[in-house]
A and B are shown apart, each in its own frame.
Chain A
Amino acid sequence: MKVLFINNSGGGFADNVDVAEGTTVGQFFEKKMLDCSPEDVLIRVNRMPVTSDVVLFNGDRVSMTPTKIEGA
């Protein structure tokens, strides 16, 4: 199945990615945000807060935004 993954770290990335059926938000996070701690990332599915055990469905919109971004 496909979900829209929006990664707002670095230069920003938004694209449809393939995800296995039954993948949870926690599993998706571990796969996509390897060097990040969940406490440092704002995770939203379809613009709503979710827990890590929520299962993703086809067409979901998953956004991950760092809670600490350094200004200049």
Chain B
Amino acid sequence: MKAKGRTAEQKLMQRFARRTVELAGQIHDSAVKVLEGEYDRMNLEYLHTMRPLGTVLRKIPKQKNVQLREELKRQANNQRERLDSYSRYLQERTEALRAWKKGTPSVKEVYQEIVAASGEMNGFFCEKQCIGFKTKAIEFEGVYLGPFKVYVTVHQVGERPWNYTVVAMDPHRHPHDSNLTHPHIGSDRLCEGNGKAALTSAAKAGRMFDFLTMIRSIVETYSPVSPYADIESWAGGSMCSNCDRRLRGDEEYGCHDCGNIFCCDCTGVCSVCEDTYCSNCLRRCETCGERLCYRERCANECSCHEEEENVEVKEEEKAVAENTGGVAGGAYTFRGSQVA
């Protein structure tokens, strides 16, 4: 007995399947067009290379001057050599195109790729002429950039049967260039770097699954070698020279001695001059343990140094008083005696 109607989930699945098949067909057609475009381009290049030789060969019989005729023959020989070299290149190119044609994906293969990608990628979606997915929230070295959405549209670009953009869903733009949402994404274009050749190879073969996983790998990796902008410049602040913690403007402390920037945990204050110093530019007084900078003035004015001096002054005065038999400066009284 035939089941009545379809559940909402079944309808959704059918819609997804239908869209995926349509898209797979469009991608296949686009891949075939890319290949045909390569053949056309090769033919045009060959004609373009042949033309100069033809021009020179036509001039030779008309040239009466012997010297100039010899020069034209020399040019013709050069052109022939160039044409021979180009013919060899074309032969290699033709073999490569034959292999490419052999590897051009069927509609079924593209469909399988898209279905596999839907199971692999988070937030995968499939719409008319567009598929894509959502990355995890990206964070590099404590700098939060948010998640990104990758949109792949069936639109031939160069050797690829499709194009794509990478859009920030919660943009944390670079403070000095609002087009940058990621160290490797400018104006929603991903700079593919080391992945470029492999991405083109996957696109030409219709390997959508591999293509999308590689895009994800690039977006989730920070390369300090040649980004649009270093991640350090993103937060707009500096880093502690000791513990590398990222600092906002109000969290920065400059060392009065070395001049480097530190966080509050990596700095201290000289108990004499009360200036801020890093841990390398502060020391502990050997006597009282107070933190002191290395300036002589502060070492001399340490509180324990003052106490020592006070003790020394008192002992001197006592000694003077003993020698003179009286009070020196009124500072002392003898026990059991009245001081006049």
Enumerate chain A interface residues (CB-CB to B < 8 A). Answer: 6, 8-14, 42, 44, 47-48, 63, 65-72
Contacts and interface: CB of A to CB of B under 8 A. Distances in A.
A46 B91 CA distance: 34
A25 B79 CA distance: 54
A69 B202 contact: no
Nearest to A66: B217
A8 B202 contact: yes
A6 B204 CA distance: 14
B331 interface: no
Interface stretch (B154-162, B218-226, B229-237): B218-226
Contacts of A10: 194, 197-198
A66 B225 CA distance: 18
| Secondary structure dominating the interface of B | helix
Given A44-B116, A69-B198, A71-B194, 15 more contacts: A8-B210, A12-B201, A47-B116, A63-B209, A65-B210, A65-B214, A67-B221, A71-B183, A71-B184, A71-B191, A71-B227, A72-B184, A72-B192, A72-B225, A72-B226
Given A8-B198, A14-B205, A47-B116, A71 B190 contact: yes
A6 B207 contact: yes
A8 B112 CA distance: 18
Nearest to A68: B221
Contact of B112 (A12, A42, A47, A72): A47
Interface residues of B, number: 34
B260 interface: no
B113 interface: yes
Interface string B107-123: 00000110010001000
B183 to A, nearest CB: 8
A9 B192 contact: no
A12 B183 CA distance: 24
Nearest to A65: B213
A11 B207 CA distance: 14
B198 A71 contact: no
Contacts of A72: 184, 191-194, 223, 225-227
Top 3 nearest A-B pairs (CB, nearest first) are A71-B184, A12-B201, A72-B193
Contacts of B220: 67-68
Looking at A9, A44, A47, A48, the one whose CB has the most chain B CB atoms below 10 A away is A47
A42 B226 contact: no
B210 A63 contact: yes
A44 B184 CA distance: 27
Interface string B158-185: 0000000000000000000000000110
A47 B197 contact: no
A49 B194 CA distance: 25
Nearest to B103: A14
